[in-house]
């Protein structure tokens, strides 16, 4: 008896059953002849890792909705080519696992990428996806987005764009926030500018040398972001996105609104700002 030709799902265990092969080819994860190279395999692994974190958040939103199940709304800031958004939609939203009215919004400043993503979504029949040519800050006031959003993601949104995404999430009363911060230069520049004012404080030795200023600036920025989220009632978890061998931009911050006590993290936030000479940043990390 002639054996059946193996499917792409059998040949490539990384590709999940039912996943759109056309999508993976359009995203250049699969080659035109259905092959997967090492670089694409690594990229897919990173996206799947994020999906593993986001899937239970989507389920949690639906559980909170109860019998209404109006669907999960998700906004992806700094969407780029929308690898994450498309794969999330393909795996979780397309089959209505995210509810009947589930919708993903991709926010991106590069108009050509927004246009390409819009065309691809239409071609694939992904009706619950929209792409908007906006900055993160502009999206907070845009009437093209709903007044509340369930899940907010911002992956490698450079410098203050991550803080704008946090501001967006807070104002949109997001239930869950998923952040992979990148290129935190603003706090480092303030630390550098104020070095001379804080010489009596021995803590300044931590960021006296330029390379340490950059590294400590990045570290303290994420500490302040976590405290800010906690000061707004969120439970915050910080973990690795992928192994350090793949990327140095490796920190994954996941925040879930729990209406937790806010006084202590708010006080801690103000103390940290004062002790490292960042009082002028209080408006950025507002509570």
Number of domains composing the chain = 1
Supply the pLDDT for residue 59: 92
**CATH code of 104's domain:** 3.40.50.150
Residue 43's pLDDT is: 81
Note down pLDDT in tens along the chain; length 287 residues.
Answer: 555 555 555 556 678 888 899 999 999 888 887 788 778 888 888 888 899 999 999 999 989 987 777 889 999 999 999 999 999 999 999 876 666 778 999 999 999 999 999 999 999 999 999 999 999 999 999 999 999 999 999 988 777 889 999 999 999 999 999 999 887 788 989 988 887 665 567 888 888 898 999 899 999 999 999 999 999 999 999 998 765 444 456 789 999 999 999 999 999 999 999 988 899 999 999 99
Q: Is residue 46 part of a domain?
A: yes
Domain interval for residue 26: 8-281
Q: What is the pLDDT of residue 199?
A: 54
pLDDT value for 37? 77
C-alpha to C-alpha distance for 226 and 29, rounded to whole angstroms:
33
**Domain assignment of residue 43, yes or no:** yes
In whole angstroms, how far apart are CA 188 and each of 66, 173, 195, 213, 278? 45, 29, 11, 6, 10
Q: Is residue 276 domain-resident?
A: yes
The reply to whether 237 falls in a domain is yes
Paired with 171 in beta bridges are none
pTM of the model: 0.91
Residues sharing a CB contact under 8 Å with residue 286, sequence separation 6 or more, in sequence order: 228
In a domain, 1, yes or no: no
- Taking alpha carbons only, the member of 101, 52, 75, 286 closest to residue 169 is 75
* Residue 2 covered by a domain: no
Residue 286 within any structural domain of the chain: no
pLDDT for 244: 44
């Amino acid at each position: 008896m002639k054996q059946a030709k193996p499917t792409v799902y059998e040949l490539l265990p990384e590709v999940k059953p039912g996943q759109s092969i056309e999508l993976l080819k359009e995203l250049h994860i699969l080659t035109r002849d259905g092959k997967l190279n090492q670089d694409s395999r690594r990229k897919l692994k990173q996206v799947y890792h994020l999906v593993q974190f986001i899937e239970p958040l989507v389920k949690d939103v639906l559980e909170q909705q109860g019998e209404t199940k109006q669907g999960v709304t998700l906004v992806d800031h700094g969407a780029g080519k929308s690898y994450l958004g498309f794969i999330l939609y393909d795996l979780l939203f397309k089959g209505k696992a995210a509810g009947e009215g589930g919708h993903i919004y991709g926010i991106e400043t590069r108009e050509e990428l927004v246009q390409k993503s819009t065309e691809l979504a239409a071609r694939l029949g992904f009706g619950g996806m929209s792409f908007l040519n906006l900055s993160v800050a502009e999206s907070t006031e845009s009437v093209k987005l709903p007044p509340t959003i369930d899940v907010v993601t911002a992956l490698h949104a450079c410098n203050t764009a991550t803080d704008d995404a946090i501001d967006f999430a807070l104002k949109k009363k997001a239930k869950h926030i998923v952040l992979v911060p990148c290129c935190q230069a603003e706090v480092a520049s303030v630390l550098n500018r104020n070095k001379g004012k804080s010489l009596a404080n021995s803590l300044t030795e931590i960021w006296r040398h330029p390379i340490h200023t950059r590294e400590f600036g990045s570290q303290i920025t994420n500490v302040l972001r976590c405290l800010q989220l906690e000061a707004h009632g969120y439970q915050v978890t910080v973990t690795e996105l992928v192994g350090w061998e793949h990327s140095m931009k490796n920190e994954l911050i996941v925040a879930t609104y729990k209406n937790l006590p806010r006084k202590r993290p708010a006080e801690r936030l103000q103390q940290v700002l004062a002790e490292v000479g960042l009082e002028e940043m209080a408006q950025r990390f507002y509570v």
